[in-house]
Chains A and B, each alone.
Chain A
Amino acid sequence: MSQVLRRRDFIRLSVVGLGVVVVGSRAAFGESTPTPARDARLEITAAPVRLIDGTTVPMWSFDATQPRPVPGPVLMAVSGERIEIEVVNHHDRTHAFAIDGVVDSGPIPPNTARTVTFDAPPAGTYLYLDPLQAPLNRLMGLHGALIVMPANPVTPYDAPTPAVSRYVADIGGWDSTRQWVWLFNQIDPALCQRVAAGATTLDTFKPRYFTINGASGFEAATSPDVAIHGHIGEPALIRSLNAGLAAHAPHIHGNHIGMLAAHGAVCEDVYERDTWRLPAMARHDVMLPFEVPRDAHPWPPSDDFHFPLEYPMHCHCEMSQTAGGGLYPHGAIAHWAIEKTIDKGLT
């Protein structure tokens, strides 16, 4: 895919370089160039996926040229703008591309392509997926995140609620480049084998690997698209999604988050939590305020060796912290870190 898209189609979404594909024509992110004939192309193929313990499972991918074939690339657009995505099916099964309530390509037979055109929905976080044989094609890896930004990103939304506006103002405002996607998924290698061999029903689902953006454990905690860092006073938006079937309970250490959007709706009440429920297909935006860890004493610590202050986020449904039945904590875990700096005060 990197060959077909021009440089202007990519931006660095965050300070740690989350790679995204910008879809839509608006020049909100830099150069103004003519509307491309096609904003993005997703190419469906079978792809072996290597897991944290070296196990390889057969899965399906929207873009197998990525370092991790699953999930698909993060797509990004501005609300209301027209988007064109070409979906090419190189696989020997029929697939489709859909975003619930937004667009559905309809069946795309093997070795054909379909271009879907739609207007970007309201600013927020969406899951795109192959809705066929639900949930099988999605569980086989055909899913990814679509980020829709507001034209004026003071908050992540076109029309923030009073509570969201107040929360974001109280934490010192949000730099819209500071956002990360945490797309959770669970992998059952036996199911992948069965479906790759032709099974068309779910029968059982016994996940043995638990990923965030396709990575788990040490790999997730050290991957720049998963691991968050910054200074005190630099909030980070986390777009948490769950493409699998299991209910996660992400628990973050170091700061409570504020939940800004749940299931795609901007929250009337912003709940501050250290643990949030992330059921199957949920998409919840949570803001990590990057405040001084409130219960650290004394603050600041006298010795710099504590920095960066590195904290985990892990699912508290702890079965998700395993890989292949053990290997704790090489499951659904991420890290975030507070850097020491001379530019920003420590208090």
Chain B
Amino acid sequence: MSGLICDLPSLRSRQLTAIVDGTTTPAWAEGTSLHQLSTFETFGCDVAKASPPTPDRVTPDVSLVRKVHTGARVKMPDGVEVRFWGFEDPASGVSKPFPSPLIRVRKGQVVHTRLEASKKVHTIHHHGIEPLPFNDGVGHTSFETSGSYTYQWRPADAGTYFYHCHVNTVLHVEMGMYGLLIVDPPSGPGTLYEGGPAYDVEAFIVADDVDPRWHIVGQDDHHAGVCGGDPELDRFEPQYFLINGVPNPRTLTDPRCLIGARPGQRILIRLLNASYSDVRFRVMGLDATVHMQDARPLDGRYARPIPVPAGTALASGSAQRHDLIVVAGAPGTHVVRLEFRHWITGVVQGVAETRIVVA
């Protein structure tokens, strides 16, 4: 079979190679590590680090700032305090949030997300958004942000996304460097997408699972394992199960999780699996319908809406999003249940529950 392997030049970060070749030499590239060619090392251990200006920068419709912090603390039900990292919005007045604050824009707006990385390198990858690689936040296909960088993008599709750091992603996402990202249709909140279903109440269900060992590993070394060593980042043993940053069972009473509606209202649930488990989502006692997946409509062109009858499981893989509409019935309480299944054994490692309260 060996003769069949073709000798095409390997796919490298040729947009960077072009700079090195002198095809293009932006002034900002001089004196930075962007001069490196892609190799085994620059793919992982020694990724280019830079704070370039944004190519083709235009005046944005929306400007956001996300400043890295490493100081959130969440008290778990057993009393253990776990450290989280994240992105702070200086304009919000909320310091050291976990998860990171919502990004909410409208379809067609030019958006600038300015990352201020502080002391260590980080990036922002807008997950599900499809910009140029330069604005995609992946170190080995562009660069890791050492100071600050403004990611430029213009969402073409309404829907539910999220954003997260893409440096040593396995660890930095577990450390909490993620937040929800919503693109509304031009008409704004209230409709899922243009011509799509309307909703009266909007709820977020962001699932996460936490292995406290990893948070100690991250606190000790932001680059753990990247250049060698064995921090056992293939061994993930979550102890805590969270919705919207709140550990179960506080999820049953915490206002950040509870969903309130009046009888007959249409509730939109934006479900994001930000965990490393294979999640099963259920609404007890109420039927739900999935209208979007990964920010693409189930509008009948290629796919129909998916019914999720009361109590039945919807599977959500790591990083998937599902947008469901539930019609609130008579006054009452309905449990929303997440099961976190181990990625290898399939065993249910934990659950997180909250409630829909119809009153």
Contact = CB atoms under 8 A, between A and B. Distances in A.
A193 B344 CA distance: 20
A217 interface: yes
A308 B3 contact: no
B65 interface: no
A305 B19 contact: yes
Contact of A318 (B24, B56, B169, B302): B169
Given A17-B6, A317-B343, A272 B129 contact: no
Contact of B43 (A163, A217, A270): A217
Nearest to B232: A325
Contacts of B131: 293, 295-297
B25 to A, nearest CB: 9
A27 interface: no
Contacts of A21: 1
B171 A2 contact: no
Interface of B: 1-6, 8, 10-15, 18-19, 23-24, 26, 39-40, 43-45, 55-56, 58, 110, 125-136, 138, 140-141, 152-157, 168-171, 173-174, 224-226, 228-236, 276, 278, 293-296, 298, 301-304, 315, 317-320, 341, 343-344, 346
B6 A224 contact: yes
Identify the 5 closest CB pairs spanning chains A and B, nearest first: A326-B225, A17-B6, A19-B4, A297-B154, A269-B303
Given A245-B344, A319-B233, A329-B43, A305 B225 contact: no
A310 B15 contact: yes
Nearest to A325: B230
20 contacts: A17-B4, A218-B40, A227-B10, A227-B11, A253-B136, A272-B303, A274-B319, A293-B131, A303-B26, A307-B15, A309-B133, A312-B138, A312-B141, A318-B169, A319-B276, A325-B234, A326-B230, A329-B43, A329-B140, A337-B11
Contact of A229 (B2, B11, B132, B318): B11
Nearest to A323: B234
Contacts of A302: 55-56
A156 interface: no
B153 A297 contact: yes
A343 interface: no
Nearest to A219: B40
A186 to B, nearest CB: 8
B168 A328 contact: yes
A318 B229 contact: no
A319 B302 contact: no
B44 A65 contact: no
- Secondary structure of the B side of the interface? loop
Q: Which of B24, B136, B298, B302 has the most CB of A within 10 A?
A: B302
Interface in A318-333: 318-322, 324-330
A279 interface: yes
A208 B138 contact: no
Q: What class of interface size applies to chain A in its complex with B?
A: 35 or more
A29 interface: no
Q: Which of A21, A208, A296 has the most CB of B within 10 A?
A: A296
B323 to A, nearest CB: 13
Contact of A295 (B125, B153, B169, B302): B153
Q: Which of A245, A306, A320, A337 has the most CB of B within 10 A?
A: A306
Contacts of A217: 40, 43-44
Nearest to A254: B130
Given A253-B136, A294-B130, A65 B2 contact: yes
A37 B233 CA distance: 50
Given A294-B156, A296-B130, A328-B233, A205 B344 contact: yes
Given A65-B2, A247-B343, A310 B170 contact: no
B153 to A, nearest CB: 5
A298 interface: yes
A221 B44 CA distance: 12
Contacts of B6: 12, 16-17, 224
A74 to B, nearest CB: 9
A296 B26 CA distance: 20
A73 B3 CA distance: 13
B296 A277 contact: no
Nearest to A245: B344
Interface string A275-318: 11101000000000000011111100111111111111011111
Contacts of B12: 222, 310
Contacts of B128: 256, 274
Given A66-B1, A269-B302, A308-B14, A328 B44 contact: yes
A255 interface: yes
